[in-house]
Structure 1
Amino acid sequence: MKYIRMIPVGLLGIAAGAAQAQSSVTLYGVIDQGLSYTSNSGGGNQWSMAGGVLQSSRWGVRGSEDLGGGLKTIFLLESGFDGSTGKFTQGGLLFGRRAFVGLSDARLGTLTLGRQYDEVVDYPGMFSDRAFGGGYLAAHPGDIDNFNNAYRTNNSIKYQSANYSGLRFGGMYSLGGVAGELTRNQSWSIGAGYDHGPLSVAAAYMNVRNPNVSFFGNSTTGTPSANAANVSSPVYSGFASARTYQVIAAGGTYRLGAATVGATYSNIQFSHLGDTAESGVNPSGYTGSAHFNNAEINLQYQFTPAFSVTAAYDYMKGSSVASATGVNGGATYHQGALSADYAFSKNTDVYIIGVYQHASGTDSSNHPAVAAINGLTASTTDAQSTVHVGIRHRF
């Protein structure tokens, strides 16, 4: 990371006076690029260049101002980009990854306002393979539980506690902003984590109202369509008519010398299907609720300070759900991931990731389930595999 005292006005579009007022400002970033092979991408084998696989490419600015007595003003502006094309990610938003300002106290914690991560991302999401070595390819099918932070939360008020002898906790509330309907489009989440010696554990809960617009839609374009599903993955795109989306999740790791063993569990629910004023989002005529249970186990081994290997297995089972044509029996997904990483320095590393997924049953589109590795075009069959080789540089 490069440490600077002030940011040029022309580069960042912020007032010079505001930049000079900061006690410190840090410009940072990541660029991650590589080559991928996918066995079945919409029906054919595909070779492609892909970016942000191990870690999303980004640049950002963070800063703080010391207000005295342990209190600081803090801010963060973070923009995602595709290194293959140079375009913005997150639907083209300038600061689509995160944008917030707030106050931080070493004893009382931190309060921030803006576009931020939910507590599922901050707590149990950090124990899944996507955070260790598998990147977004190893995320749970469709990133259904948001462990891979595919979706951000707009208009949010977030509190994160200080670290109390290894215990941390936090909560977030997002205002819906709909006149006369306090709970429409709102979301909230809570989480907690504890670290003690080799053991780390965490749990979180998230609840989102009208998720097709407030969460899956607003997270990318900022101005979502209210008449179409804002999720492309067949794993759960058919459940866009849900009134409420909720995630209950837990995870942890245990370090044994050079090895780290991790596990996560999440229960995902799309409830009150069909209970929405939007049109065109419930073609299967679903009613009731759809549930998913997801369990992952992973293992990372640090052979040397520079070289590590990670393996993970994920299992997800969907419940049956009533539709206009009968009962959808749900889908089952098995996924395995293997990755290796070698660091040339603290800032530059090369890596390889391989993922295989198999699907069975009936998916949310009310058709035979097809494999759909996260971030890729879904397969036309029940199996899909991909291999990615990349290089990452952090600055």
Structure 2
Amino acid sequence: MKKALLAAALMSAGIVAHAQSSVTMYGRLDAGIQYRQGIPGGNAVQMESGDWGESEFGLKGAEDLGGGTKAIFKLEMGLNVMNGNYQNGSLFGREARVGLTNDNYGTFKIGYAGASEIIQDSWDIDPQLMQQYAIATLVRGRNWAQAGNSVEYTSPLLAGLTLKGQYDLANSANWNGNGGSGSAPGQLGNTSGFGSGQGRSDGFKAQYNASSFELQALYDEIRDPYGRFSNVYLYSRSIMAGGTYTLGPVKLYAGYQHLSAPDADEAGYDGAASPGGASLPTAVDHEWGGAAWQLSAATALTAAVYHANANNGNGNATLYTLAGTYNLSKRTFFYTELGYIHNSSTSNIGLGNGYADPYGASGASNASGGGAVGGGINEGPGYGHSQFAANVGIMTQF
């Protein structure tokens, strides 16, 4: 009888422990097609994975430790649904972190931040929600930064205010950098010819949410493998502020960003050549505004304009976008987006992602002597030229 009671107690304890823990599998698949004009050599029709948002697969879990505290974890990979490969440079290249959370004391995480590098929180004040032609385009992928060796703290919600801080170590005797050794996260815009290590990065965010509006201020800095701010589009300081205001079915957006790289040099730009009469940019000012209109429960339209000006004779560019989604269900929707960039005479920003059209002559110059970053064809326009692109696709989530 005692043995039976003991077995029953152990089984009950196991059931309770199981009930207090959870593991969730989740993901999304985004597949579409893109048409792009203004590519040197002609126009292109391309199958795309992740034009609205990167395809991903992940696992996340929580364990109740008592007293309102939970242990949490998250493992997330990026996927290319056109060839089945993982993205972001490693198996769990979007995130691999463990931590603790408590409603009263906040949330602490440690590990590989990946696509949760703090500047990516800026999607919340981007009218196009960081899809293909959006807040990262005119800064050549700077707002899609990634980072490893990360510690992060997020405060509990305090009368509508949330504070968040993140610190990413270089893991080296040199506190700010590691001399180019080791492996770096797959940060967008990086080139194969300049180092491979991660310099120290850090950031801070303050966000205030009310019933009809949201305000956000964000500071972020990313150093090169030698601890310097050597490339305004890649290794730089960023100061950003913006907000949204909701009026019935319409949501208005506005924002400003300033990038600074006082240590800019040719090594930082991987030997890229400047446009005629210009020197390497050390600062960029970026502004945007837009509106999202929920036409019906199934249909939404978004229009936005972005403008960026780079110093030292590197010119300016303006991006015009129009996008729409149509929900087939709660988890699946069609999307489309149109983008048009107008460049001044010494600007050559395109509708790529930082890999396809990095800084440099014709957007293709690098230290190893040619082609766009990653070995692909150059997809950026020439200096002073415009570019138009459109995509259409389907996204499903689980």
Q: Would the TM-score normalized by the shorter structure come out above 0.5? A: yes
Q: Secondary structure at the match of 2:128?
A: helix
Structure 1 residue 162: Cα displacement: 1.1
Partner of 1:247: 238
Query: 1:312-323 counterparts in 2 under 5 A?
Result: 312-320=304-312
1:203 is matched by which residue type in structure 2?
A
Partner of 1:230: none
Partner of 1:202: 216
Partner of 1:76: 74
Equivalent residues of 2:162, 2:206 under 8 A apart: yes
Equivalent residues of 2:150, 2:168 under 8 A apart: yes
Query: 1:115-264 counterparts in 2 under 5 A?
Result: 115-116=112-113, 117-122=116-121, 124-131=122-129, 135-141=131-137, 143-144=139-140, 146-147=142-143, 150-179=144-173, 181-184=174-177, 185-210=199-224, 240=231, 245-264=236-255
Structure 1 residue 280: Cα displacement: 5.2
Partner of 1:10: none
Partner of 1:6: none
1:299 aligns with 2:295: no
CA deviation string 1:293-331 (max 9, x = no partner): 0001010001101101000000101111xxxxxxxx122
Structure 1 residue 144: Cα displacement: 4.3
More strand, by proportion: 1
Structure 1 residue 393: Cα displacement: 0.3
Structure 1 residue 43: Cα displacement: 2.8
Q: Structure 1 residues 253, 125: closer, same or farther in 2, change over 3 A?
A: same
375, 378, 381: which one aligns with 2:380: 378
Q: Structure 1 residues 243, 100: closer, same or farther in 2, change over 3 A?
A: closer
Q: Structure 1 residues 296, 337: closer, same or farther in 2, change over 3 A?
A: same
Structure 1 residue 183: Cα displacement: 2.3
Partner of 2:101: 104
TM-score under structure 2 length normalisation:
0.77
Q: Structure 1 residues 261, 297: closer, same or farther in 2, change over 3 A?
A: same
Q: Secondary structure at the match of 1:141?
A: coil
1:210 is matched by which residue type in structure 2?
D
1:372 is matched by which residue type in structure 2?
G
Q: Secondary structure at the match of 1:176?
A: coil
Q: Structure 1 residues 241, 164: closer, same or farther in 2, change over 3 A?
A: closer
Structure 1 residue 384: Cα displacement: 0.6
Percent identity of the aligned residues? 29
CA distance in 2, matches of 1:262, 1:21: 42
Gaps of 5+ in 2: 1-16, 178-198, 357-378
1:269 aligns with 2:260: yes
CA RMSD of aligned residues (A): 2.8
Gaps of 5+ in 1: 1-18, 217-238, 321-328, 363-368
1:138 is matched by which residue type in structure 2?
A
Partner of 1:387: 390
Structure 1 residue 55: Cα displacement: 1.3
Q: Structure 1 residues 44, 391: closer, same or farther in 2, change over 3 A?
A: same
CA distance in 2, matches of 1:125, 1:72: 27
Structure 1 residue 89: Cα displacement: 1.2
Q: Secondary structure at the match of 1:126?
A: helix
Q: Structure 1 residues 242, 151: closer, same or farther in 2, change over 3 A?
A: closer
Query: 1:359-370 counterparts in 2 under 5 A?
Result: 359-362=343-346, 369-370=347-348
2:31 is matched by which residue type in structure 1?
Q
Q: Structure 1 residues 341, 136: closer, same or farther in 2, change over 3 A?
A: same
Equivalent residues of 1:357, 1:384 under 8 A apart: yes
CA distance in 2, matches of 1:188, 1:317: 25
Larger Rg, first or second structure (1 or 2): 2
CA deviation string 1:89-135 (max 9, x = no partner): 113x100111110111111111101121233222x43111331xx71
Q: Structure 1 residues 352, 163: closer, same or farther in 2, change over 3 A?
A: same
